[in-house]
Amino acid sequence: MPGAGSARLAWMILVLACACQFMVILDSSIVNVALPSIARDLRFSPTGLAWVVDGYLLTFAGFMLLGGRAADLFGPRRTLGAGLVLFSAASLAGGLAAGAEVLVAARIVQGVGAALMAPATLAVITTYFTEPRARARAFGAWSASGGVGGLAGALAGGALTTGLSWRWVFLINVPIGAALIAVALVALARTAVRREPLDLLGAALGTAGLAALIYGVMRGGGNGWTSAAVAGPIAGGLVLLALFVAVEARVAKQPIVPLRLLRIRGVAAGSALLVLFGAIAIAMWYFSAVFLQDVLGYSALAAGLGQTPAAVAFLLVARWAAALLPRVGARGLVVAGSGLFVAGFGWLAWADAGSGYTAAVLGPTLLVGAGIGLVFPTLMAAATAGAPERDAGVVGGIAATAQQVGGSVGLAALATAAGGSSAAAYDRVFLIAAGLGAAVAAVSLLLPSQPANGRRRDR
């Protein structure tokens, strides 16, 4: 860490970053179990109810590049604080919502708050933890907190909805957010605001392009890929993103995403790998959960509990990967994790309705969970290493956006490939995921063989 900061301060900063990441990922899934109760109480239409989930995911993915740039211009302290305030206020509004429109609006604002928080937490880690071993450990803890948030979402959503009310799915964020705002004000140093113009045209094009692309992809499975409701947003999003690249390259004096960053080997290769990884993570956490329910007949709660051993493996291996990264390097750890993906998903593809949990689910999900533990913190470290310190926020935004886009596109593509909920459908999904694991191994050869020894301070 810079200066002579105490171990206690370092611990506070890491807990802050991990807790914020936990909240962001938790709220991507915690409402799913509560949706039937929300629909009854607020009289949602079937199509309107989807916006309780989609409104959050769209703004979360669409605004992350802007959030990363804001962290660079205004500092992680201000950006993270603003994100926490927005997130907590929107959670309060959602928990008190008396109508469907208010709840959807609250979820949209929650997504914007999350989009400020996620890259700011990455900027906090890359700014405050500069020694390679300390940074690797910090990324391991940060990655594990996101994994715990994803798994805890279904369990916490079910417990809060059943024991109290669906409103507590949102209200629980308010006291936690207030506590984290206080920690951020105490632990994070003030930084000067950089007097640079904000690239408003680039921000608008990038945000709108990502949102349109992800919206179209999310609608692909249910409406058909050639329908106007799907092809239109996807085509429009691609056009907007092409314009965004042109503006960043030729028009903007201070671009929201300096394209020079993509010439840094770790940033470019790490971000490309995070797109593939996002699809693999969806195949693991989402499709294995619905496989347990659709094929093996588990309840939603039992399916969540059935994934717990894999989540524990992920947490343990992520800490181990953090210790190995400075010695082994990113390339070696990603190749090893890819091998676990191929083996685990290949094993899952063998399972059927007559397979027992221990032999056909526990073993392969432990392999995939361990692979995620090796790969995720490694890729986040690789994708944010080697860039100038002044661009820590936007590099974090690029990495987080890459993973989110990979997950959104992967979910839609894998659901389309499945074409149903039979054992054969899940076999196809898991075999494709095994192929993605092999692709990760191939692309990982583009990573630097050894990790960068800290962040450059030049432009």
- List, in order, residues 6 or more apart from 98 with CB less than 8 Å away: 42
Confidence check: pLDDT of 125 > 80: yes
Q: What is the pLDDT of residue 1?
A: 43
Helices (H) and strands (E) in the chain, counts: 20, 0
Q: What is the pLDDT of residue 343?
A: 94
> Are the CB atoms for 380 and 122 separated by under 8 Å?
yes
Confidence of residue 450 (pLDDT cuts 50, 70, 90): low
**End-to-end Cα separation, the chain, in angstroms:** 21
Q: Which residue has the tokens 């309780």?
A: 52
Confidence check: pLDDT of 402 > 60: yes
Q: How many of the other CB atoms lie within 10 Å of CB of 237?
A: 21
DSSP string, 344-374: HHHHHHH--TT--HIIIIIHHHHHHHHHHHH
**Which two tokens mark 116?**
């400020």
Q: To 5 degrees, how large is the angle CA 116–CA 113–CA 397?
A: 25
- List, in order, residues 6 or more apart from 408 with CB less than 8 Å away: 57, 61, 214, 217, 218, 278
CA dist., res. 283 & res. 384, Å (int): 25
**Which two tokens mark 257?**
């995403």
> Are the CB atoms for 310 and 249 separated by under 8 Å?
no
- List, in order, residues 6 or more apart from 79 with CB less than 8 Å away: 67, 70, 71, 116, 119, 120, 123, 393
Q: To 5 degrees, how large is the angle CA 65–CA 457–CA 453?
A: 95
pTM of the model: 0.76
Confidence check: pLDDT of 188 > 90: no
Q: What is the pLDDT of residue 385?
A: 76
CATH of 260-459, one of 2.60.300.12, 1.20.1250.20, 1.10.3720.10, 3.90.79.10: 1.20.1250.20
Q: How many of the other CB atoms lie within 10 Å of CB of 424?
A: 12
Confidence of residue 431 (pLDDT cuts 50, 70, 90): very high
> Are the CB atoms for 395 and 120 separated by under 8 Å?
no
Q: Which amino acid is at 165?
A: S
Q: What is the pLDDT of residue 219?
A: 75
Q: What is the pLDDT of residue 181?
A: 92
Instruction: Provide the residue ranges of all domains of the chain, joining segments of one domain with +.
Output: 1-194, 199-255, 260-459
- List, in order, residues 6 or more apart from 57 with CB less than 8 Å away: 28, 111, 214, 218, 404, 408
CA dist., res. 155 & res. 300, Å (int): 9
Q: What is the pLDDT of residue 273?
A: 92
Phi and psi, residue 297, nearest 5°: 80, 25
Give the mean model confidence (pLDDT) for residues 238-244: 91
Q: How many of the other CB atoms lie within 10 Å of CB of 185?
A: 11
More confident site: 429 or 386: 429
The alpha helices in 30-75, defined as continuous H runs, are: 35-42, 46-62, 64-74
Confidence check: pLDDT of 34 > 50: yes
Asked: is 1-194 a CATH 3.20.20.80 domain? The reply is no
Helix (H, G, I), strand (E, B) or coil at 1: coil
Residue pLDDT, tens place only, 242-259: 998 898 888 777 788 888
Confidence check: pLDDT of 352 > 80: no
Residue pLDDT, tens place only, 132-149: 778 778 877 887 787 777
Q: What is the pLDDT of residue 179?
A: 92
CA atoms within 13 A on the CB side of 443: 21
Buried b (16+ CB within 10 A) or exposed e, 42-51: bebeeeebbb
- List, in order, residues 6 or more apart from 368 with CB less than 8 Å away: 280, 284, 288, 310, 340, 341, 344, 345, 348
Q: What is the pLDDT of residue 388?
A: 75
Confidence check: pLDDT of 344 > 70: yes
Q: What is the mean pLDDT of the chain?
A: 82
Give how far Cα 313 sits from Cα of 46, 343, 369, Å: 37, 15, 6
Confidence check: pLDDT of 457 > 50: no
Residue pLDDT, tens place only, 193-229: 666 777 788 888 888 888 888 888 777 766 677 788 8
Confidence of residue 449 (pLDDT cuts 50, 70, 90): low
Give which of 407, 426, 274, 412 is closest to 346, Cα–Cα. 426
Whether 260-459 and 1-194 are alike in CATH topology: the answer is yes
More confident site: 88 or 249: 88
Burial (CB count within 10 angstroms: exposed 0-12, middle 13-18, buried 19+), residue 445: exposed
